[in-house]
Structure 1
Amino acid sequence: MSAGVFLNRTADHALRAMLYLGTSGRAGMLRSEDLARATGIPPYYLQKVLRRLVDSRLLISERGHNGGVALARPARSISFGDVLRAVGDDPRVGCCAGCCVRQKRSCPLHSAYLALRRWADGRSIAGQRSAARRRRPARRAK
């Protein structure tokens, strides 16, 4: 199952961009054109996503010849939840369209939304690098 099943396109692109920046091992600024090419995100769409991530202080950006974007803080301190909130796809906001508040009791989906929020807030961008290493098969010696 892909992340796109549960996330809107903007959230999916934001997570893909942040995961690339947090796990690629690159130091310094990365041009948005290079990030678009590496992630397969359309450049124009990526510009909009990056602006929201910069405005939310998850990324820093610099203009000019050596400009680009970079994580604003260590990847281990940026959660999936931080990224989702930055682009307006916070799982807690969509919970039951507010019916839990109106009914003064939890609806059947409430616990699922809470679990999703805990999962997103407990999963760091940096943690995905170590998870990818664990999944990658060892190379055979020649």
Structure 2
Amino acid sequence: MLSQRARYALRALVYLTARTDPGPAAIGEIAEAAAAPRKFLEAILLELKRRHLLVSTRGRFGGYALARPASDITFADVIRALDGPLALAPCASKTAYRPCETCPTIAECPIHPALVRARDAVAEVLEGWTLETAALSEGLSENLPGPIT
């Protein structure tokens, strides 16, 4: 299940993508746009900065901006940064694989193939959905490059 942290983060990053002002956005502005509690969002944005998805500028006109083009940041990147692997179980994860404690081997596990297929299906969607895709699909910005192919 997607955490509240990831939902706030995705809303905040899509907002940053769609903003017409080229400068950094203040935390208060982002929190209002993402309908997120400011203090909670501050911690989330700091984690995204630590994970190189955001950059920040200090000072009166400071704030947060995307560290890379919106077309290069996927929903999977954001979710993995905050919630960890996309897989339902560690034995099905590509990024954080480890054997399950209750299964003797993957070959003998009757649920492993379903978990892998679920991971692959979720990853296909989330790795293909960028911040730019989200902003364009919602008609949030006329300033983004047009149609995604």
TM-score by length of 2: 0.77
Q: In the alignment, residue 96 of structure 1 is paired with which amino acid? A: A
Instruction: Give the Cα–Cα distance (whole angstroms) in 2 for the partners of residues 130 and 33 of structure 1.
Output: 24
The residue number in structure 1 matching 2:89 is 96
Whether the 8 Å contact between 1:7 and 1:89 is mirrored in structure 2 is no
Instruction: Give the Cα–Cα distance (whole angstroms) in 1 for the partners of residues 20 and 138 of structure 2.
Output: 13
Q: SS at the partner of 1:108?
A: helix
Q: SS at the partner of 1:61?
A: strand
Stretches of 4+ aligned residues off by more than 6 angstroms: none
Question: Is 1:63 aligned to residue 58 of structure 2?
Answer: yes
The residue number in structure 2 matching 1:84 is 79
Q: SS at the partner of 1:65?
A: coil
Question: Is 1:133 aligned to residue 144 of structure 2?
Answer: no
CA deviation profile, 1:33-68 (whole Å, cap 9, x unmatched): 111111110001001100011001110001111110
Shift of 1:115: 0.8
Which 5+ residue runs of structure 2 have no aligned equivalent? Answer: 93-97, 141-149
Q: In the alignment, residue 123 of structure 2 is paired with which amino acid? A: R
The residue number in structure 1 matching 2:36 is 41
Q: CA RMSD in A?
A: 2.0
Q: SS at the partner of 2:21?
A: coil
Which 5+ residue runs of structure 1 have no aligned equivalent? Answer: 1-5, 135-142
* Alignment match of 2:70 (pick from 56, 75, 94): 75
Instruction: Give the Cα–Cα distance (whole angstroms) in 1 for the partners of residues 66 and 90 of structure 2.
Output: 33
Instruction: Give the Cα–Cα distance (whole angstroms) in 2 for the partners of residues 91 and 58 of structure 1.
Output: 18
When the two structures are aligned, how many residues end up with a matched partner?
127
| Overall identity of the aligned pairs, in % | 30
